[in-house]
Amino acid sequence: MSRTLVSLGGEAGLFELVSHARRGPGRRERLSTAQIDLIARTVHRTPEVMIKVLTRGGKDLKAVGSHLRYLSRRGELEIETDEGQHLSGRGFEKAIIEDWDLDLDELRPSAQLRPWNRPPPKLAHKLIFSMPPGTPPTKVLEAVRTLAREEFALKHRYAMVLHTDEPHPHVHVVVKALGENGTRLNIRKDTLQRWRREFARHLRALGVPANATERVGRGISHKPQKDGIFRATLRGASTHDQKRTATVARELRNGALATEPGRSQLQATRREVLRGWAEVASSLEAQQESELAAAVRKFAREMPGPMTDQERIAEQLRRGRTSPRVPERSR
């Protein structure tokens, strides 16, 4: 059976909206109320939540301590723990490391004769929960606090802190990788998507418009930023985009933009997404949701064409929206 789908994540879970799978002649899958609400949030461009896992560091006590000190702005901000404590000041990170028995966790792989060529397991995971500018920071913190309690309480020790020194209010969460029952926390793609859905749900419960859908269904084709670039962007100190812009500008001056691998797959995926949205609109019309069906068709029609990163930068250069000059590295 030929199937075309749009996958969207919502509180009802991941669901598929297909264009060539029907329950008999003229009968379509009936969309649930939760699915219709999710579709409405998506096509009306409700702000999307973001969760980032910082993969670098967290494998030794020094790295964990340094990260905690950074998050507290060297003791100036209070770190909230899973036990409701608010820690700050000099040396607070040592109290957390001792309370979580991270020193024992660091020694455990050696005691278990870990193979010499296998990297040490993480002592802690580093997460960032973020929302767009204008979102009330205290509500972002409250939503993360609720999510962390539901996900980790009595299973994995954790600590968090709210940062408001950038336009996007965001909460850093540090989670002990080894659980209280000896189970290690493994963060997979479906884990992140589930956390995103829960984060958005908790925000909505606080009156904050929030959504959690997959990028491809919204017509976003560029890849997420890598850890280092993302952190530098939050600080306003990233030169990665400027360097890539300079490279593309040189290629344009030379008269040829290099073709990035995966472009054909990008276009094929977009065709599938558009077919899926067309089926969503048809299903909505069959359920007398004509206004939302029209919004879905408009959303799909206005979806920007799929672009590789190089093509996106080239388009910005042609429109004069970015500069090809790379700023000098600060000394």
pLDDT digits (tens, 9 = 90+) for 113-146: 555 556 678 899 999 999 999 999 999 999 999 9
Q: Considering the domain 50-205, what is its CATH architecture?
A: 2-Layer Sandwich (3.30)
Is 86 in contact with 27 (CB distance < 8 Å)?
no
pTM: 0.78
How many whole angstroms separate alpha carbon 99 and alpha carbon 60?
16
* Strand pairing report for 124-130 and 86-87: unpaired
* Domain ranges within the chain, ordered by starting residue: 9-46+262-301, 50-205
The model's pLDDT over 274-284, given as tens digits with 9 standing for 90+, comes to: 998 999 999 99
Is 72 in contact with 88 (CB distance < 8 Å)?
yes
170 secondary structure, DSSP code: E
Q: Is the per-residue pLDDT at 8 higher than 70? A: no
Q: Is the per-residue pLDDT at 230 higher than 90? A: no
How many whole angstroms separate alpha carbon 22 and alpha carbon 100?
53
pLDDT of residue 326: 39
Mean pLDDT across 200-205? 98
* Strand pairing report for 79-81 and 158-163: antiparallel
Q: Which residues are CB-contacts of 18 (< 8 A; sequence separation ≥ 6)?
A: 3, 4, 5, 29, 276, 279
Q: Is the per-residue pLDDT at 64 higher than 70? A: yes
pLDDT of residue 328: 34
Share of the chain above pLDDT 70, in %: 68
Q: Is the per-residue pLDDT at 104 higher than 50? A: yes
Q: Which residues are CB-contacts of 215 (< 8 A; sequence separation ≥ 6)?
A: none
How many whole angstroms separate alpha carbon 193 and alpha carbon 215?
11
How many whole angstroms separate alpha carbon 178 and alpha carbon 101?
10
Nearest residue to 217 via CA among 146, 173, 272, 176: 272
Q: For residue 324, list its beta bridge partners.
A: none
Give residue 295's pLDDT band: very low, low, confident or very high (50, 70, 90): very high
Locate 194 and state its tokens. Answer: 């589930």
How many whole angstroms separate alpha carbon 101 and alpha carbon 64?
12
How many whole angstroms separate alpha carbon 151 and alpha carbon 143?
12
By mean pLDDT, which of 68-72, 104-108, 288-292, 319-323 is the weakest? 319-323
Phi, psi of 272 (to 5 degrees): -65, -40
Give residue 10's pLDDT band: very low, low, confident or very high (50, 70, 90): very low
